[in-house]
Amino acid sequence: MTMDALNPSLTLGIEEEYLLVNPDTRDLAIDPPQALFDDCEQCLGKHVTSEFLRSQIEIGTPVCGDITEAEQELKRLRSCVSRIAQEHGLRIIAASTHPFADWEKQKHTPKERYDDLARDMGGAARRMLICGMHVHAGIESPDLRIDLMNQVSYFLPHLLALSTSSPFWQGQDMGMLSSRLTVFDGMPRTGVPDRFESYSDYERLTERMIASGALDDSSKIWWDVRPSAHYPTLEMRITDVCTRVSDAVAVAALYQAILKHMVRLRRRNLRWRLYPTMLIKENRWLAQRHGVKGSLIDLGKGRLSEFSQLITELSEMVRDDAEDLGSMEFVEQARQITARGTSGQKQIEIYKAAIADGSSEEEALVRVVDFLIEETVYGLEED
């Protein structure tokens, strides 16, 4: 691999999906007015789109040169969608599941792509009342993209743990902080990606699937991290959508810094050790279940370690790279998330406190929605 190939731009793009909520019932807006989407498009152009379900809306930042620009764009987009939703009598929540909404009552957006998805995937697609956050990092060399995908899979559970925001499903405490993944894993071509020797190796697989008729294009490979089908980026997809915008920026900054660190290793003809996929999947489950308050397997040491220790070690490991990127203050926020707790943890705390105060389960879940409505716009007012 040439030195030019080992000098990726590591530009950033962040995509977030939100849920549209009726502030009176706190339930989802099953069929929001088309004017809401039209007004968002008028305000944000191509950086906002409808999603599979009518009760969802998605934003995507422009290509950003650094994490500070990404933060500014994310705040701008989230603020605009929030304001327009309010103008139409609704609110947005940045959470990967709604605390009590019923997926069977939802309507999917009438678009050809979504019609095809509903037809091809059946109930697995209709259950997709979930939202995520995707982070694109600019890596111009296709082979480097694949090389880094193989290596960065090790850290996907760490990023997931920091983002967890989906402890409830259909009004039930699922006993895990990311129930979104239990829903998403019902779809094909999800989870930890396969490993490839080169981009050509990856292309051969996708072309074989397309030629067989099993797949239309590579955009329907929904791994936790993947080479983007449309951009020269490595797209991280494992994370829940973060309720606080500052948490989203911290996760994106950490992902970028990890990639920068791995590029630095490759320049010295080194790389992060590749571990058995089963071990990565086990850490994925532990992160999904316990988030930042649990433990992950430290695969180098071969034992469970508290997440708080692992995130401290990871932050220090990428310090030089984050400082080069001008993002260390954002990376360090990962420790603050670990100390404070993620959205998923806060939702459970609010729910249990309401029950302890004598509220019914339904009333307790309404309190959780109120928390999400407020937390979604937390930190935006300064702009």
Residues 159-191: tens digit of each pLDDT: 999 999 999 999 999 999 999 999 999 899 999
Q: What is the pLDDT of residue 3?
A: 67
| Secondary structure, 3-state, the chain | CCCCCCCCCCCEEEEEEEEEECCCCCCECCCCCHHHHHHHHHHHHHHEEECCECCEEEEECCCECCHHHHHHHHHHHHHHHHHHHHHCCCEEECCCCCCCCCHHHCCECCCHHHHHHHHHHCHHHHCCCCCEEEEEEECCCHHHHHHHHHHHHHHHHHHHHHHCCECEECCEECCCCECHHHHHCCCCCEECCCCCCCHHHHHHHHHHHHHHCCCCCHHHCEECEEECCCCCEEEECCCECCCCHHHHHHHHHHHHHHHHHHHHHHHCCCCCCCCCHHHHHHHHHHHHHHHHHCEEEECCCCEEEEHHHHHHHHHHHCHHHHHHHCCHHHHCHHHHHHHHCCHHHHHHHHHHHHHHCCCCHHHHHHHHHHHHHHHHCCCCCCC
> What percent of the chain is modeled with pLDDT above 90?
86
- 383 has pLDDT over 50: no
- The domains of the chain, with CATH numbers, are 12-376 (3.30.590.20)
Residues 233-282: tens digit of each pLDDT: 999 999 999 999 999 999 999 999 999 999 999 999 999 999 999 999 99
> What percent of the chain is modeled with pLDDT above 70?
98
- 382 has pLDDT over 70: no
